[in-house]
Amino acid sequence: MTRIGGIRLAVILAMIAALELACRSGLINHRTIIAPSEMASALAALLTSGAVNADIARTLGLILIVIVFSIALGFIAGLAIHALPRLREALDPFFATYYAVPIFIFYPVLIAIFGLSPMPIVVIGVATAVVAMIIATLNGLDRVPRVLTKVARVHRLSRLTTALTLQLPAAAPYLFIGVKLAVSYAFIAVIAAEFILSPAGLGRDIADAYADFNNRRMYALILFLLIVATIVNAALHAFDLRWAERRSGGRQ
């Protein structure tokens, strides 16, 4: 481990230890925050009991559905918009504003339309994540070398073959930026939606545990979600680094 990595680990451990100490000594009331060791033991107990397995499967399943739809729809929409320059010009201000407005305030409207089911959650999730993928696809396609599209035309490749065998790999590094953002947005939107109003799911579980003053359960679930999100983000980051290394290595 590098020196800086070591310091970072020490800083994080020191913060956890300080929290543990503050909770154990009564400096922080256990009705506000429970000690980190207690959170971990509560999480272990909750996971072995299997009481939340259905909610875990539901929430992670919804996140996965949102990710898959957002990436697929975003890529296809990006291809279509890229092929129509005038539409793209008209949509440009829309893309520039999209993430500046709280799209999430339309979640209650979606509940009114679709009822209290997984549907509004998937729709708000895809609505949040898909635009990042569209923007990343447009950026990526802008950077596909001209010569490649000419090669495709020389070989008389169909639109679909060109998209899959040529544009997709050439734009891949930029598409991956979109994938990372889509994953991150999918997590945020699904959990926030479950949290605010949903028939089931981890977000709903946390909200219920909060309402019941069940701190052990609440902190266990929060810890679980934070661990899952951190692992997913770290995995994407590590993949990105290795991939960038391979690409630059191949060129030298």
Is the Cβ of residue 168 or residue 210 nearer to other proteins in the bound state?
Answer: 210
7 scored as a contact of other proteins (CB under 8 A): yes
124 scored as a contact of other proteins (CB under 8 A): no
Output the smallest distance, CB 32 to other proteins, in A. Answer: 5
**27 residue type, one letter:** L
How far is CA 245 from each of CA 137, 175, 233, 236, rounded to the nearest angstrom? 22, 17, 18, 14
244 scored as a contact of other proteins (CB under 8 A): no
230 scored as a contact of other proteins (CB under 8 A): yes
Which residue, 40, 99, 60, 30, is CA-closest to 203? 60
Q: Which residue in 13, 57, 68, 112 binds other proteins (CB under 8 A)?
A: 112
Strand, helix or coil for residue 70: helix
Is the Cβ of residue 39 or residue 163 nearer to other proteins in the bound state?
Answer: 39
Q: Which residue in 31, 146, 156, 251 binds other proteins (CB under 8 A)?
A: 31
Q: Which residue in 96, 119, 151, 244 binds other proteins (CB under 8 A)?
A: 96
Is the Cβ of residue 101 or residue 160 nearer to other proteins in the bound state?
Answer: 101
Q: Which residue shows structure tokens 């949102």? A: 66
Q: Which residue in 21, 54, 151, 234 binds other proteins (CB under 8 A)?
A: 234
Which residue, 191, 225, 195, is CA-closest to 209? 195
* Alpha helices (runs of H) in 146-201, residue ranges in sequence order: 146-154, 159-161, 168-196
